[in-house]
Structure 1
Amino acid sequence: MSDLPTLPVTFRPGRTRVVLLTAGVAIFVVISAIALLLEKLGPGERLSFIVTGALIFGVLAMLARVKVVADDSGVTVVNIASRRRLAWEEILRVNLRPGDPWVFLDLSDGTSLPALGIQPGIAKQRAIEDARTLRALAEARSIQDPEQHRG
């Protein structure tokens, strides 16, 4: 495929990220404003409101951090609470089946790794295109060194 993107390339659910971060900021601002406007609250109660808003924002920011970064030497999958680096040879297949919440990478060790950075939630067509691009990259990279794949 000659239409492969120039590496490095980052895949992330852009619209979902915007929604999560916007909601996080809005929730933090509203909860903090309520804490400051309610006259009957003491300083400790106000602080607990603000900390709660910050925690909610933090959780939404963690959800928004997901991405898949492909470069010359492999792929880095950043999920909600984990990061994993894979060499191209470790990726046997890139799957996004109808109904899947995100892409799954079938790995050479027999396991499957969810890659939340490509998810069809809000932008289904974009996720399908991203999955196809990552699949094409993985296929192109896995056959670059044919000696590596001879039995």
Structure 2
Amino acid sequence: MAAPEVLVVRPRRAMIMSSILAVVLLAVFVVVAVLLRGSNTGVHFQSSDQAAMVGIGILLAAGTMLFATARVRADAEGIEVRNVLATKRFAWNEVLSVSFPDGASWARLELPEDEYYSVMAVQAVDRARAVEAVRALRRLHKAAWT
């Protein structure tokens, strides 16, 4: 008996850009913290001020990396969508279709009563990977309805 197909999709470019931005933010705040003590502004900065600057850099870098945590996990039973902070699971019978509207930044699940749920893991900037992901999600959705 074959194992059920499980599709996992993560955004590629968002991961790259988030990582670069996080490193840059952290580097800038560390450099500012190091240079803080030597500045002639008339204010006396302490080690605690330097530590706070590094802490702010760490918090901003971590916040930036939240955009890289988007993920979709789909199987024959349904689809689990993790966006920036929230994870939600839908059974395929709750989903009317998987769409990627023209001009949209990411795919979405069309739900009953004109509702939809964004799928941030399938992003337009990933181009061919996004197309393949939408096609695979549509195949799983169609198989669940037949």
TM-score, with structure 1 as normaliser: 0.81
RMSD: 1.7
Q: How many Å apart are 1:30 and its aligned residue?
A: 2.9
Q: Which residue of 2 aligns with 1:18?
A: 16
What runs of 5+ residues in structure 1 fail to find an aligned partner?
Answer: 1-5, 144-151
Amino acid at match of 1:102: W
Amino acid at match of 1:18: I
Q: Which runs of 4+ in 1 moved over 2 A?
A: 36-41
8 A Cα contact 2:76 2:140, kept in partner: no
8 A Cα contact 1:24 1:57, kept in partner: yes
Number of residue pairs aligned between Structure 1 and Structure 2: 137
**2:133 counterpart of 1:130:** yes
Q: How many Å apart are 1:61 and its aligned residue?
A: 1.1
**2:137 counterpart of 1:142:** no
- Taking the aligned partners of 2:85 and 2:135, their CA distance within structure 1 comes to 25
Q: How many Å apart are 1:109 and its aligned residue?
A: 5.6
- Taking the aligned partners of 1:14 and 1:89, their CA distance within structure 2 comes to 29
Of the three residues 69, 75, 80, the one matched with 2:73 is 69
State how 1:17-56 maps to structure 2 within 5 Å: 17-40=15-38, 41-56=45-60
8 A Cα contact 1:90 1:109, kept in partner: no
Who wins on radius of gyration, i.e. which is larger? 2
What runs of 5+ residues in structure 2 fail to find an aligned partner?
Answer: 39-44
Q: How many Å apart are 1:10 and its aligned residue?
A: 0.9
TM-score, with structure 2 as normaliser: 0.84
8 A Cα contact 2:75 2:140, kept in partner: no
State how 1:65-144 maps to structure 2 within 5 Å: 65-108=69-112, 110-121=114-125, 123-143=126-146
